[in-house]
Amino acid sequence: MNLKLPRTSAEQWRVLQAVVESGGFAQAAELLHKSQSAISYTVAKLQEQIGVALLEQDGRRMKLTEVGATLLRHAVPVVDGLSRLEQHAAILAQGWEAELHLAVEAIFPNVVLFQALARFAEQCPNTLLQVHEVVMSGADEAVESGEVDLVIASSIPKGYLGEQMLDASLVAFAAPNHPLHNYDRLLTTDDLFEHTQVVVRDSGTQNPRDSGWLGAKQRWTVSYPQTSIDMVKSGLAFAWLPKHLVYEDYHQGRLKPLPLRHGRERRIPLYLVASAKQATGPAARLLARCLLDAASAWKDFECPAECMESK
C-alpha cells in the first residue's frame, strides 16, 4: 500500500482562501488573528511546495492566478470536509451517538415519521440513522435483540416500557366492482368466508403471530402493506387496510369500505419502545422526543370508518 502524505496542509489553503476573500495579507491577518508576516510566509510556503504561482497583484488587492483559482476551487471542499470531520469528532466526544437504528412498524404513518425525522436531522445532522421496517412480532424481536435503539411497535414486549404514540385504524375494503359490494345489505363474516382475503406477513421469525379476522376460506399473504393495497384495488381480494394509506384511493373511487355489520374498523395502538440498549444517548433521546411530538400532532385521520362511508 502506497500511503503518500500530502506536502500541503488544510491551514495553508484556508489562509490562501482568506487572502483572496478579504483582499490582501493585512486583511487576512486581521480575519484569522495572525500577524501579516505569518500570512505572507504561509502563502509563500504553499506556492513553493506546489511549484506554481497562486496569487498576483491586482492594484491594491491580491487575486488568484488562473492556476490558483483552479486549485483553490478543488481545495475548499476538501478543507470544509476536514472541518466537518473535526466538528463531528467534537460532537461524538460529548457523548452523541455516531449511528442510531430505528425499527418502525409498517403501518405507522409515514407522514408522522418523516416530520419527526426532518426535525431530528435539523438538530442532529451528524448522527447516521438506519430505519428498519417490521411487522407485528418483528418489532418485538427488534426490541429484545438490542440491535436497534428505538422501536415503534404494536405491542410492548414483557419487561419493557413504552409510550403510546397513536392509533392506526384498519378498515375493511374491497374494490368497488368486488362481488362483496353486490349484496345490498350489511355483511357478516359468513359472507366474507367465500372470498379471498389478503393479509400482511409477520416479519418476526421466532414467534410470529396472526392478527385480526382470518376466517376466509382462501387467504393470500404478502410482505408489505402496499402490496395488499394493490391487490385489493385490482379486485383480487378484500382486506383490512390502514386508513391513512388508502385515503386518496378511497376518495378517488378506487377502494370502497365493506358494509360489515360488525368489525368494519379495527384500531391498533402503536407504541414507542426503548430496546435493550435503553436508548440512553442524547441522540436517541432527541429522536424519541421528535417522534412523540410528531405523533401527538397527528390529527388527519381521526374520523371513524363511518365518515368514509358517507361519501
Q: Which residues pair with 162 in a beta bridge?
A: 273
Pick among 3.30.365.10, 3.40.190.290, 3.40.47.10, 3.90.1520.10: CATH of 168-268+304-309: 3.40.190.290
For the stretch 36-68, pLDDT in tens is 888 888 988 888 888 888 888 887 777 888 888
Instruction: Please tell me the distance from the alpha carbon of residue 199 to that of residue 231, in angstroms, as a whole number.
Output: 10
Supply the DSSP string of the chain, one letter for each residue: ---PPPSS-HHHHHHHHHHHHHTSHHHHHHHHT--HHHHHHHHHHHHHHHTS--EEEETTEEEE-HHHHHHHHHHHHHHHHHHHHHHHHHHHHTT--SEEEEEEETTS-HHHHHHHHHHHHHH-TTSEEEEEEE-THHHHHHHHH-SSSEEEESSPPTT--EEEEEEEEEEEEE-TTSGGGGS-S-B-HHHHHTS-EEEEPP--SSS----S----SSEEEESSHHHHHHHHHTTS-BEEEEHHHHHHHHHTTS-EE--BSS-SEEEEEEEEEE-TTTT-SHHHHHHHHHHHHHHHT--TT-S-HHHHHT-
Q: What is the pLDDT of residues 96-143, one digit of tens each?
A: 888 899 999 999 999 999 999 999 999 998 889 999 999 888 888 888
Tens of pLDDT, residue by residue, the chain (311 residues) = 567 778 888 888 888 888 888 888 888 888 889 998 888 889 888 888 888 888 888 877 778 888 888 888 888 888 877 776 666 565 566 668 888 999 999 999 999 999 999 999 999 988 899 999 998 888 888 888 778 899 999 988 888 889 999 999 999 999 999 999 999 899 999 999 999 999 998 887 666 666 667 778 899 999 999 999 999 999 999 999 999 999 999 999 999 999 999 999 999 999 999 876 554 689 999 999 999 999 998 865 555 455 555 44
Domain ranges of the chain: 10-93, 99-165+270-296, 168-268+304-309
CATH number of the structural domain 10-93: 1.10.10.10
CATH no., domain 99-165+270-296 = 3.40.190.10
pTM of the model: 0.68
